[in-house]
């Protein structure tokens, strides 16, 4: 219990959770060949000692690199390294409304720049807002970890009164609409998701390490608050072969009327 409490205190001092730091360090060591493919990672107790972390923290770090396809865990054997690099393709499975509104916790945003913009005809049509509306724009690269190829380029348009969300320590890890809810009490009354294919814009090709006009998937999320106010629009463009969006639905059986 004392070890767990120490972990919590240390987490508050870091910009990201301790388990993510451990996962990142293990990812790098696997890529550098410290733990070659086919070999075992140190057992949990050794990792706990090395990182001065609780068992729960170590297991969460191992869960992350397991989901990234770097290791498999076998009962009675340990964690086996099966790849030095994670697969480029990232699959986002959606089964609930909350998952539909946000990206998986295993990904994060790396902010590139911010600015204030005014919606011209093209932008107003894309955002579905009035012409001349002023927005605070946050541009970022979405990643699964610090070493894998970028998953996509994200443009987040929020009302100017919400610009301070970018200063939050958890900004890159927490969906912006959740940050706005915590800081300003804004709630989502309804949301829209729009998906379309297009050629990769030339200005996004270089940071995403692809060719201009190569196939791309763009996802636009619009968030509306009280009185149908559009308060955030998120546009993410994914290069071909790096991101898959899946939805699972189940038919609802209605009871028959009458006897």
What is the per-residue pLDDT across 127-148, written as a single tens digit (0 to 9) for each?
999 999 999 999 999 988 777 7
Question: Is residue 171 assigned to a domain?
Answer: yes
Question: Is residue 169 assigned to a domain?
Answer: yes
Domain boundary among 28, 57, 81: 81
Whether the CB-CB separation of 167 and 147 falls below 8 Å is answered with no
Based on the fold, state whether residues 115 and 235 are members of the same structural domain: yes
Q: How far apart are CA 111 and CA 241, in angstroms?
A: 23
Q: Which CATH number fits the domain that encloses residue 197?
A: 3.40.1410.10
What's the rounded mean pLDDT across residues 29-51?
93
User: From the CB of residue 176, how many other CB atoms can be counted at a distance below 10 Å?
Assistant: 25
Based on the fold, state whether residues 107 and 38 are members of the same structural domain: no
Based on the fold, state whether residues 101 and 77 are members of the same structural domain: no
pTM of the model: 0.62
Nearest to 231 by CA among 182, 173, 181: 181
Domain boundary among 23, 49, 81: 81
Domain that holds residue 233: 90-247
What's the rounded mean pLDDT across residues 119-124?
93
pLDDT above 50: residue 90: no
Whether the CB-CB separation of 188 and 209 falls below 8 Å is answered with no
Number of domains forming the structure of the chain = 2
Domain boundary among 81, 102, 121: 81
């Amino acid at each position: 219990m004392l070890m767990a409490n120490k972990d919590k205190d240390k987490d508050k001092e870091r910009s990201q959770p301790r388990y993510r730091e451990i996962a990142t360090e293990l990812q790098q060591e696997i890529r550098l060949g410290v733990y070659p493919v086919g070999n075992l990672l140190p057992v949990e107790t050794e990792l706990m000692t090395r990182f001065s972390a609780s068992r729960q923290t170590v297991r969460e770090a191992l869960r992350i690199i397991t989901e990234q396809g770097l290791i498999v865990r076998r009962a009675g054997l340990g964690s086996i390294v099966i790849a030095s690099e994670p697969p480029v393709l990232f699959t986002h499975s959606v089964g609930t409304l909350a998952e539909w509104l946000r990206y998986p916790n295993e990904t994060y945003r790396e902010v590139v720049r911010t600015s204030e913009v005014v919606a011209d005809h093209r932008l107003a049509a894309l955002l579905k807002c009035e012409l001349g509306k002023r927005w605070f724009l946050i541009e970022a690269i979405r990643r699964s970890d610090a070493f894998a190829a970028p998953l996509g380029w994200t443009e987040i348009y929020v009302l100017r009164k919400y610009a301070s969300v970018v200063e939050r320590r958890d900004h890159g890890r927490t969906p912006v609409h959740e940050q706005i809810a915590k800081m300003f009490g804004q709630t989502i009354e309804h949301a829209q998701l729009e998906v379309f294919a297009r050629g990769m814009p030339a200005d996004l090709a270089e940071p995403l390490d692809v060719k201009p006009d190569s196939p791309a998937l763009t996802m636009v999320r619009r968030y509306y608050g009280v009185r149908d106010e559009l308060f955030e629009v998120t546009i993410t463009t994914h290069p071909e072969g790096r991101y898959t969006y899946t939805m699972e639905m189940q038919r609802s059986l209605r009871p028959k009327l009458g006897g």
